[in-house]
Amino acid sequence: MMKIYSLFILAVFLWGLLYQSAPAQPEGMVAVEQDTFMPFYSSTGDSVTVDPFYIDIHPVTNAEFLEFVKENEKWRRSRVKSVFAGDSYLRHWATDLELGRNVHADSPVTNVSWFAARAYARWKGTRLPTLDEWEYVASASAVKPLASRDKAFVSKILDWYSRPNPDQMPAVGERQPNYHGVHDMHGLIWEWVQDFNTVFITGESRADEGELKQFYCAAGSSAAADSDKANYAAFLRYAFRGSLEADFAVGNLGFRCARDKE
């Protein structure tokens, strides 16, 4: 009896050590496990393996970004360098440190450049999600981890893409989360990713033009995954990213953060 009791105590002790050593899930994020999927655009035609990572449950809000600019003066609207953000940067805010009556604190922040989004992520000890990470999470419906071939799911996304921007952005987190527990991947804003320009930008304008021509012709180009050629919603996302530059600040473009899972 004493031996069994001793083994039980040892088991409880070891379990406690394991529990204490396990890293806590970052607040406001969910864990996404490793998986393999076929991205919409693949120059090699191969599937992509996404390593485990964390991603924000919802896009960064005006209130959250306001805290960032309060502590980082160089990212305030009146002080940011033009090379890092264009004239539209945070133009929907009343002043550098005031949102104004028509801007909700819980709505996603928009009119932020890629440089500003990346700076915020670093300030939080995180990073922007990669294109593959974002597309993988975005391919999940409410019940399926991979729903890019689900016609009803794709049609729902396209319906949002066809709507004009609302005068006031709704709050984040009001819609049903997807399979991973992530809100607002679709239906609210477009989002920056770390490598937003990798599909189109090659470093030379003539080469870039060739990339664009190939992508837009022949129903989205042969580089689009065969299984996803009907996924016009994904095509629109890649085309939109290809139109961006890192200093752009757009009224329906925001971001969320990600983090490696150790």
Quote the pLDDT of residue 162: 86
**Pairwise pLDDT comparison (190 vs 101), residue with the higher score:** 190
Could you give the CA distance from residue 177 to residue 140 in angstroms, rounded to a whole number?
10
**For range 113-128, the mean pLDDT:** 98
Instruction: Work out whether strand 35-37 and strand 48-50 pair parallel, antiparallel, or are unpaired.
Output: antiparallel
Could you give the CA distance from residue 14 to residue 131 in angstroms, rounded to a whole number?
40
pLDDT at 215 over 80: no
Averaged confidence pLDDT in the chain: 83
Task: Provide the percentage of residues in the chain whose pLDDT is more than 90.
Answer: 60
pLDDT at 210 over 60: no
Query: Going along 75-219, which residue ranges are E strands?
Result: 190-191
pLDDT at 205 over 90: no
Region of poorest pLDDT, from 35-44, 73-82, 101-110, 124-133: 35-44
**Nearest to 99, CA basis, from 125, 130, 65, 74:** 65
Residue pLDDT, tens place only, 8-60: 555 545 555 444 444 578 999 999 999 999 877 655 567 889 999 999 999 99
Residue pLDDT, tens place only, 143-173: 999 998 888 998 899 899 888 888 889 999 9
Torsion of CA 188, 139, 141, 24, to 10 degrees: -90
Confidence of residue 234 (pLDDT cuts 50, 70, 90): confident
Residue pLDDT, tens place only, 46-76: 788 999 999 999 999 999 999 999 999 999 9
pLDDT at 219 over 50: no
Residues comprising the chain, all counted: 262
CA distances from 64 to 112, 116, 147 (A): 13, 13, 31
Give the H/E segment covering residue 37. Answer: strand 35-37
Quote the pLDDT of residue 38: 83
Quote the pLDDT of residue 217: 39
Quote the pLDDT of residue 1: 52
This prediction's pTM: 0.81
